[in-house]
Structure 1
């Protein structure tokens, strides 16, 4: 499968410039050098559709934070698309995070989705997320090779997160998925409502996920409305 030219070029630029930025700026004390997480979830849902055939799975992630706002890492999850393969998804990413002001944060990342033993599905995506006043966010993601199809896909979503007493929080999101005709999917909308609770390094979240009729036409029962419970530990 051909690599994504745009995303690969941006990833290379970020990687090459990261060491320079590390020496140019002082490290932010509040950002740890390494972030890690291990989780168990009742269903791996991505943009409204189950990636684990509606079954529980495990997930793990590791991120290296470079002084100056750059970061790189990997994240993995069990998947089940039917048949014998693939059994795992492993994502590799590199990105940059910066505060534009006291109330606006911007994050840009190149994420490479890979599926061992099913490389024809591999693709990369350029993802930006702008956060306003800590509570509101706008995400835009683009790929020119969705699912290894050599066709483009665009995703944009709005989100909101609000802290509640006793370390609870509530999270809301509404997203729109659009595709070139060659992808073979209809454009669709996904949404989620969730509540989470943290106890230091341990957290639990309970979310309700769904899609519109086009999403269910695309993915069948895998895009039905569902409740997902996730337990995680990490820093």
Structure 2
């Protein structure tokens, strides 16, 4: 099996939707983040080392958007060092309390194209608090195998301008490319001037650890972000 699980990040709950820009706001948005470990669906993508990440996107008045996200990765010697995720999508308010987002993302490794694959990610947000994510790839990890990801999560305000977030996800595969497994996260964050600081505790169940070894051990992840996203 392929232990070099590749990834999209976006917050720790995976692919959170971009809100449509108001008419008086710039349609362009960017964010730069330093993380102590790039963790995707419970597994480290940087061999438990820190890295930098960046995102740039453009959103139209009707909710269509496109962008690119980038991160350092470390899958071992002579393996890819960079992950690029170009994406396109559509975000819309279904009603006053429900938002829907659909995004097609391409996982690209410039120096290791044999890892490249596509994924469709949908996220439904309820009352600006709870999220339900469904993701599908017909070629997960470029293995010619179907892969599904289901996740639920939420974010809640805490005193002193802190926020609490938590979520759990289930990874399932059609063939025996990997064991089906659970991943989870719980964390707090707060804005300090132009920076947003987050601290999360993430992990997987025993099947995740079977798939990815120490890369899926429970761990604390620190992030510091700057930008407009």
Taking structure 2 as the reference length, what is the TM-score of the superposition? 0.88
The CA deviation at 1:30 is 6.0
Where structure 2 has 5 or more consecutive residues not aligned to the other structure, the ranges are 1-19
152, 174, 179: which one pairs with 1:180?
174
Q: Is the 8 A contact 1:121 1:148 kept in 2?
A: yes
The CA deviation at 1:28 is 2.8
Match of 2:216 in 1: 223
Q: Distance in 1 between matches of 2:194 and 2:134?
A: 29
Deviation digits for residues 139-180 of structure 1 (CA, Å, limit 9, x no counterpart): 000000001111110000000100223321010010000012
Q: Is the 8 A contact 1:31 1:65 kept in 2?
A: no
Runs of 4+ aligned residues of structure 1 deviating over 4 Å after TM superposition are none
198, 208, 213: which one pairs with 2:206?
213
Q: Is the 8 A contact 2:164 2:187 kept in 1?
A: yes
Q: Is the 8 A contact 1:186 1:218 kept in 2?
A: yes
Q: Distance in 1 between matches of 2:26 and 2:194?
A: 14
Match of 2:99 in 1: 105
Q: Is the 8 A contact 1:44 1:56 kept in 2?
A: yes
> Which range moves more in the overlay, 199-208 or 71-80?
199-208
Q: Is the 8 A contact 2:51 2:71 kept in 1?
A: yes
Change (3 A) 1:27 1:75: closer
Which structure has the larger Rg? 1
The CA deviation at 1:200 is 4.3
Where structure 1 has 5 or more consecutive residues not aligned to the other structure, the ranges are 1-25
**What is the correspondence of 1:157-168 to structure 2 with a 5 Å cutoff?**
157-168=151-162
Determine if the alignment matches structure 1 residue 124 to structure 2 residue 118. Answer: yes
Count of residues in Structure 1 that have an aligned counterpart in Structure 2: 209
Give the secondary-structure state (helix, strand or coil) at the position aligned to 1:181: coil
62, 67, 89: which one pairs with 2:83?
89
Q: Distance in 1 between matches of 2:42 and 2:169?
A: 9
Aligned-residue CA RMSD (Å): 1.4
Q: Distance in 1 between matches of 2:194 and 2:129?
A: 21
The CA deviation at 1:32 is 3.1
The CA deviation at 1:27 is 6.8
Q: Distance in 2 between matches of 1:234 and 1:27?
A: 15
Task: Name the one with the larger helix percent.
Answer: 1
**What is the correspondence of 1:181-200 to structure 2 with a 5 Å cutoff?**
181-182=175-176, 184-200=177-193
Q: Is the 8 A contact 1:49 1:223 kept in 2?
A: yes
The CA deviation at 1:83 is 1.7
